[in-house]
Amino acid sequence: MKIAIGNDHVAVEMKNEIMAYLESKGVEVVNVGTDTPERFNYPVSGYRVAKLVASGEVDGGVLICGTGVGISLAANKVRGIRACVCSEPYTARLAKEHNNANIIAFGARVIGVELAKMIVDEWMNARFQGGRHSERVAMIMEIEETQGLKEI
């Protein structure tokens, strides 16, 4: 498995810990975030990770900023991306099983690193369940593609 990871300046330490954790599990990690404490605008990392995920160069993405909000908002502007902010493992699992989230995001100012590892594990180990969820995810993508929804 190959995962892209990105972060801003407030999440360097957590990014390093999550990278090491993923690598210890045999995951190949592509780091496109910042590695220094100098101010770094989170949309840059959000966009970089999103492009790698959308192009299929990696299997998924992990994004970390202060809250996970800004960086996921940026990623979600790239066509084909479903980035979810999660602060606990249950939402992380359902984000993949029901919403087919291809990027998981969280906040270095919100959760600790051990919880972050659990969130990443739940999301990576979960599988999209398809079925009724496929229809709903297709509707999300329809809004993205057409700025409309046939059904309404």
Q: Which of 9, 84, 86, 98 is catalytic?
A: 98
Instruction: Please state, in angstroms and rounded to a whole number, the distance separating the CA atoms of residues 37 and 25.
Output: 27
Instruction: Report the candidate in 54, 128, 140, 134 with the shortest Cα–Cα distance to residue 96.
Output: 128
For the bound state, the minimum distance from the C-beta of residue 28 to ligand RB5, rounded and expressed in Å, comes to: 26
Q: Which is nearer to ligand RB5, 44 or 137 (CB)?
A: 44
Q: Which is nearer to ligand RB5, 34 or 67 (CB)?
A: 67
Please give the backbone phi and psi of residue 48, each rounded to the nearest 5 degrees, phi first.
-60, -50
Q: Which is nearer to ligand RB5, 58 or 65 (CB)?
A: 65
Is 65 labeled as catalytic in the residue annotation? yes
Is 98 labeled as catalytic in the residue annotation? yes
Residues identified as active-site: 65, 98
